[in-house]
Each structure stands twice: as structure tokens, then as C-alpha cells.
Structure 1
Amino acid sequence: MVCEQKRRENRRLTCRGREGKEWGAAVIKNAIAYVLRKKTRTLIVFVILTLVLSCLYICLSIMRTSENLEQTLYQSSNSSLSITKKDADGYFEISPFAQTDQIKEITQSSPQYEGPARLTNAKAVEGEQAITRDDLTDEFKNLVSIEAGGETDKNVLFSSGTFSLKEGRGIQRGDSDALLVHEEFARKNKLKVNDEIRLEYIDSRNADRKLEERTYKIVGIFSGKKQERYTGLSSDLSENMMFADYASSQKGLGLSENQWIASKITLSCAGPEKMDEAIRKIQELPADWSQYRVDKNTSAFQEAIEAIGGVRHMIGMMTYAIMAGGVVVLSLILILWLRERIYEIGILLSIGVSKVKIVGQFLVELILISIPTSLAAFVVGSLAVRQIAGGLLGADQTASLMTNLPTGAGGVSQLLVFVQSYGVLAAVIAVSVIIASAMILIKKPKEILSQIS
């Protein structure tokens, strides 16, 4: 008896499965026939779905890449932390801060020294100054300003465009006795890349201390004009400013490695969210913090983030507006078309086809149209994202920043964003079909059949 009941139940499930497969095949067959037969309607829906999917892809692409964009902007803005002495223009030994390299939130530590040096085989550029001094001895004439540190391409004077490299290369980590000079200084002294200059550093803490001159090799020539502070010395002028590697500046001051000094230590962090934790760990180092301060140098990054935040909010609002607009437009078009198909709906109901199956066929028809839509929307959307990114970031930044956008080389990321966009489109189609089919779902089959007559 029990075995007989199990056999009947298995036959019933088998029949239901067979009927389900047959119904699914019939729905797809009918949907394909309708889509191919109604070419004008298919074209109209194709255009609408292409526009909606393209806009969704563009919006989600920009939203998706906001974090990568923030990280790239953070790196390109050279945001950092800086340790300085509270006394203006104060020098300090860097040995108490040697352990900053062991802080995991800090990716790079770069001490910087700024001070004067005397030229021994060249002449400083002369220019007008707000202050004229007649009391200068020979020791304080023919001076240049030396800024010694890490890579010059991360120096704010170069990254901001105040100075720009004209010939050769910038100072790089690992350089020794390398020098970057201004083009006006090079022109006056008829110097070129690979020529040598001899400098005699002046110890600002003890000006009477005699130091040995040091020979430098010119590796690059730059141009530009910075905001100058006049004290009556030739080293005040931008044309007499030079960039050198940090180690050679300390050797030029005659200091052993455990005595090296700096006017500032620049610390690069892995990201803006790690800065506060890095500051907390820095201030735990065994140093007299009554004499030092730690500052964030993020003004350029914050300005860029505010602009990106505004764009992100606008894109988010546009995404919701596109979804709502897509639902409204598709629903209105489908309502009009379903009224014309009331006879077809009535026939299907009269032969026992359920409402859910009828609505399912309408849904399949739109999904079939959306498949070729995907290719067109992908091409249009990819081109549009590049154009929009170029407009937002500027031509100079686009080339370097576009590698972080989904439309760059990251094919997996690009595909993932498009799949998400298509998923949203599928949801829009489903909602539109349900809204447009409300008259079928609400009314009884007799009421629908009475409309035909």
C-alpha cells in the first residue's frame, strides 16, 4: 500500500516536471515569435533598454571606483605627516625618530634639510629684493638655498606645478652627491646636465664653523618661481634654489650618521584612514614632545575629496532617478501594448493558462530583447565613462587614474560592474511588467473575457 502511494507520488512529480519543461519551452518559443514578429515594438524597447542600461553602467562604474579614485588622489596629492620642531626654522636630530620605519601604518620616512650653502666655482643669480643689506661679509655672499630630501617628484613644489623639470631627471632615493639646479642659474653659469658644482655648507647653528666644500653632479635642471621670503641674501631667490639628496647634505655639514639633523621629517601613510593611528604611535616614541609637533599635510587631498564626494552624491541621485524613470517609461509602454493584446490574454485564460504564466511570458519577451541590448550598452557605457572621467579629472590626470577605473585594464572588475548593472535592469524590467500587468493580476478571468466581447 505504501509502495503504491510512493509510485503515484513519483508519477505525479514526474508529470509536473514534464509539464513545467514543456511550459518553459513554449513560453520561450512564443516570446521569440512575438519579438521577431513585432519589429517596431521590439526596436522601441531595445532603444529604451539600451539607454537605461548604459546610464546604469556609467553611474555604477563611477560609484564603484570612488574608493580606488580616492586612494589614487591620495597618492598623487602627496598627502603625508610631518614632524617639525615647534621653534620656527628649528633643526633637530632625527635619531629619536628612527623607529618610525617600524610603524606599519607608515610606508616611507623621509628627513628633509633646508639650509644655505656657498658657491665656490659658480656665481649666484642676482635679482631685485625688498630688502637691501650693506652689512654682508664675504661669507654671506654668493649663497644658494639647499633643500635636501627624498624624491623631488614627491616634493610639493614639483607636484603642485610651482617648479617643473626641464632637463635631466629629479633627485631619487639612493642618489649620492646629486643636484638639481634652476635653469636661470644654469644659463648664467653656462652649466648643463652632468656638469659639477662645488658647495660649501654653512651650519646655521654655528655660522663660524668652517666646513669642507663638497662636489655635486648636476642631474637635472628645473624652471619656475616660488613665493619668496626676502632677507637680503641671494639664497632668497628661486633661481638660487637647489635640490640635493639628504645624505650628502649631512656629510657636507660634517656630521656623523648618528648626528644627522633635519628641519622636517615627512612620513607617508598607506591611506588617509591610517593617519590618526600613525600619529598616535609616533607620539609614543621616546622623544621630548614639548619641543615637537606632528601635522597632517592633506589640504590638496581634502579639496579633491570634497569634489569627488559631490560628484558621488550626484551620481547616486542620478542612479535612482534612472531606475525610477526606467520603471515609469517601461510601465507606460507595456500598459499600452497589453491593452492591444487583451484578445491574446483572453484566449490564453480561456484555455486554462494561469495569470502567472502569462505575465512570465511578458517578462521573458523583455529579457530576450535585453540580451542584445547588453552588447550595445556595454560599448556605449565604456566610452561614456572614459569621457566623463576625463572631464572630471582633467586630461593630465586621466591617463594615470583611468587604470583604477573599471573601464581600464581590469577586465574582471569591468565585467562585475556590468553584471551588477544588468541585474538592476532586470529588476526594473520585473517591476515594470508587474505594474503593467496589474489589470490582469487584479481582474478575474471572466472580467477580462467580457472585455473582448
Structure 2
Amino acid sequence: MTTMKRAWLYVRRNKKRTILLFLLFTVLITISMLGLALNMASKNTVKELRGSIGGYFTLEVGADGTGKTNEALLNQIKRLDHINKYNGIDMYFLRAEELNLLPGLYDGTGTTDEFTSKMFGCTDTSLHERFLSSSFQLIAGRHIIESDEHKAIISKEVAQLSGLSVGDTFTVRTKDDLRSWNSEAGYFETKLEIFGIYQATRSEPVRPGTPEYQLQENIVFTDISTSKQLYQVKFPDRSPEEYQYSSGFMLFVDDPVNIPAVVADLKQQSFADWDSFVISENSAAYQQAAAPIQKAETISFFLLLVILVISIGILALILLMWTRDRMTEIGILISLGISPMGIFEQILLENYITAAAAFLVSIVLSILLSSSVGRLVGTLATQIHVGAGQMLIVLICTTAVILITVFLASIFIMRKNPKNILADLS
């Protein structure tokens, strides 16, 4: 009788043991497939998230620095590896009498400060820190990009108080007594079209002495072209190439992991005196979004590790007990001329036959349960998928675990002389 036939007969005749082993294999294999699928889904989601959100670092002129955050510097930095997006920011103050700002310190005084807004000219307003951190959320219209001209984004509160909506316009202008304005420069006035409306999602503490231009709801975002036009009026003796982004640059890296290396590479470049600048790394948006997914990835990894250790332990214990209970059978097989290696192969095949059936059932169970497990974990990686890759890995691991456990359970057979085994039976 062949080894395979002996193994098949044992599986058929010992139904209770076979069913128990089948259930154990099914549970362990199903959990392994789901854990591996969740782990891989989490890794893929984190990888996609790194690419979609990225991280960034800011570059500004230091308090005592002599550097310039101008177009020439920006064009040099944009050429560096891993930098895929940027946002140049210019902060300034203009009078906007057609906007009804939220009242502050100067409410009712009729002074310029009562109508003054803090304005941020951006090459891409969607990349401003307020929107990246979700403290501001665009609720109408769209964001301003570098090619836009004379556009603005205002808050929901200011829009309601002013009776304005997307598509309406308002005038902004300068005055000699306006904050941070050079009184010897020319006069600037332009109309801005409301391109979008934002809503503040987080409250900020407001004191009785807070001026209007410091209230977050009174912030106005504009296009960078308007900022450059204002710069030419403010500094008529300077060329357009000398325009500086007063609040520096936000430089986005394709993968947050690369930020330290990119910053280090930047500081090695010779086209600027980097001691004149303040460089701050920021990957908070990515970290906030990735945290729950990385938690799921860690959980699934330890789950797989625990399953592997428990599987080997439980199977080895069960098979050791069952193998010792089969000493009479083993003695008979030895007396029939079957070697210890042949007995080991039979026990191994018995387990592989049972595991094969459990593996097929586990495939169906893991596919059916995958969506439920994703929802239970509650991360962005909820759509986990048990694919051929995961099945192959679990199959290889299951084969190896069974081989190890059967070897551990049968090692006393392999080490004993057949005569000693027969002597123990007598």
C-alpha cells in the first residue's frame, strides 16, 4: 500500500480528528488571509496617500537674513528632484469698503482699519496652509490658480454680511495711512471677482481688542497676479523680476518620506545663502490622514505574527498528542517494514489532505468576510481584497507551518530505532 493511500484511509476512518483539524486549519488560514489582505491594503493606501497628499516644507527669509524669496530663487528650487508642487505666498493689507467685515476693535470708528483685510496672494490657494490643515474649507466656487487674475476667495460670514456670492465683484484700494504701505508710492485700486467662498471649521480665540484684520473670517485670498501688480505700484523703481513673495514658498514633495533628503539636498545648492532663510518641514497633513491606516497596518502585522506563532504551537501540541497515541499503529507499520521516514511522510500527507480542503473553504470565507473586516477596522483601507498573491503567500506559509509542526511532533519517531519502538509496545 502506498504512502498516499495509507494517509487517505487514515483521514477517512478518523473522522473526529479530521473534522477537528479541518476546523482548526480553516480558522487559522482564513484569519491569515484576511490579516495579510488588510496589511497589504493598508500599505497600498499609505503609499497612494503619500503620493496624493505629500508633504511640504516652507522657506522664508529669516529675521536678519539678506536672502530674497523671488522668482529667480523659486525657479531654481522647482528644478530639484522630488519637488512636484509649490505655492508662493504674498501677504498684504488693502481696504475693501464694499465688504462688511466681522466687527473688531475698530468697528464704528470710520477709520481705514475698520475696512482693512489681511490678504494672501497665492499661486494656488488650495495649497495654502489654512486649506491643507482643513481649518478652512471651500464651500462654493473653486480655488485660485497661478493663471487667474483679479480673483478673490472670501469667507461665508463676510459674504452673507455683504450680500455677495460667487461671481460678484468688490473693490480693493490703498490709502496713504494704510498699514505697511509706502505713502510715497502710487495709488492702487482694482476690482476682484469672488471666485470662491470658504468656511472656517475651527474657532479661534477672539479678544475685545482684536482688530478686524486679525479675525480669521476677514481673511481674503487673491491671485498672485494682483499681488504682483500691487508690488509694481508700491515699488515703481523696481523691475518685475525683483518681485518677492513676502511670506515665502511652500514647496511640496512627492513623498513625505523624502522631505529630509530634499531639504538636505537644497542646503547643498550654491545658488543661495541658506543661512539667510528659515526652512521648516511639515508633513502634518499626511501624518494626520495616514495615522489610522498605519495603525491598521501595525495591527494586521502583529495579527499575522501571533497567528503564525499560535498556529505552530497549537498544531505541534495537537499532533504530538495524536502521534504519541498512535504508537501501536506506528509499531505495526514498522513491523510491516515501513521506515520511520515513511511514517513521517504519511502523517505529513494526512495533514496536507485536510489542510487542502480547509484552504479551499478559507478562500471562499475570506472573500466573503473581507468587506466586513474592512468596515470593522474602520480605516481608509476598508476595501481590502483577497487576491491570488495573498492566497499564494498563505499557501506557502501553511505548507511550511505544517511541515515544521509535523516534524516537531514526529521527531521522537525519527530519532528512535525501530527495534526500540517495537520493544516499547511489548
Q: Give the TM-score taking structure 2 as reference length.
A: 0.81
Offset, 1:265: 0.4
AA matched with 1:251: Q
2:311 is matched by which residue type in structure 1?
G
Secondary structure, in 3 states, of the residue corresponding to 1:235? helix
Deviation at 1:268, TM superposition (A): 1.1
Partner of 2:408: 435
2:274 counterpart SS class: coil
Partner of 1:341: 326
Match of residue 305 from structure 2: 320
The CA distance in 1 between the partners of 2:377 and 2:61, in whole Å, is 39
Give how far 1:429 is off: 0.9
What displacement does 1:334 show? 1.7
1:111 is displaced (CA, Å) by 0.9
CA distance in 2, matches of 1:391, 1:204: 55
- Give the corresponding residue for 1:365: 350
Amino acid aligned to 2:403: A
Aligned in 2, Cα 1:123/1:311: closer, same or farther, shift over 3 Å?
Answer: closer
Match 2:71 to one of 72, 82, 94: 94
Pair 1:45 & 2:21 matched: yes
Q: 2:241 aligns with which of 252, 255, 258?
A: 258
Contact kept, 8 Å, 2:152 with 2:221, in 1: the verdict is yes
Shift of 1:82: 0.9
Change (3 A) 1:229 1:352: same
In 2, Cα distance between the equivalents of 1:330 and 1:290? Answer: 63
Aligned residue type for 2:421? I
Partner of 1:219: 195
Q: How many residues align?
A: 413
8 Å CA contact 2:56, 2:253 repeated in 1: yes
Alpha-carbon separation, structure 1, partners of 2:82 and 2:284 = 20
* Pick aligned residue for 2:393 from 420, 437, 453: 420
- Matches of 2:316 and 2:23 in 1, distance apart? 15
Given that residues 211 and 253 in structure 1 are in contact (C-alpha distance below 8 angstroms), is that contact kept between their aligned partners in structure 2? no
Contact 2:55 / 2:254 at 8 angstroms: preserved in 1? no
Distance 2:124 2:169 in 1: 20
What is the root-mean-square deviation in Å for CA atoms of aligned residues? 3.7
Can you give the 5+ residue segments of structure 2 that lack an aligned partner in the other structure?
Answer: 234-238
1:121-170 superposed Cα distances (whole Å, 9 cap, x missing partner): x223232x4x55998743x4412222232444443323333222222333
Q: Structure 1 residues 87, 375: CA separation in 2 closer, same or farther (over 3 Å shift)? A: farther
**Aligned pairs for 1:203-282 within 5 A:** 206-208=181-183, 209-224=185-200, 225=202, 227=204, 233-254=211-232, 257-262=240-245, 263-282=247-266
Residue 54 in structure 1 maps to residue 30 in structure 2 = yes
The verdict on how the C-alpha distance between 1:420 and 1:233 changes in structure 2, with shifts beyond 3 A counting, is same
Alignment of 1:36-435 (within 5 A): 36-64=12-40, 68-75=44-51, 78-87=54-63, 92-119=69-96, 122-127=98-103, 129=104, 131=105, 137-138=111-112, 140-172=113-145, 174-200=147-173, 206-208=181-183, 209-224=185-200, 225=202, 227=204, 233-254=211-232, 257-262=240-245, 263-283=247-267, 284-299=269-284, 301=286, 315-381=300-366, 394=379, 398=380, 401=381, 407-408=384-385, 414-435=387-408
Percent same amino acid at aligned positions? 22
CA distance in 2, matches of 1:58, 1:191: 53
SS in 2 for 1:365: helix
Partner secondary structure for residue 99 of structure 2? coil
Give the CA deviation at 1:279. Answer: 1.8
Indicate if the aligned counterparts of 2:42 and 2:296 stay in contact, CA closer than 8 A.
no
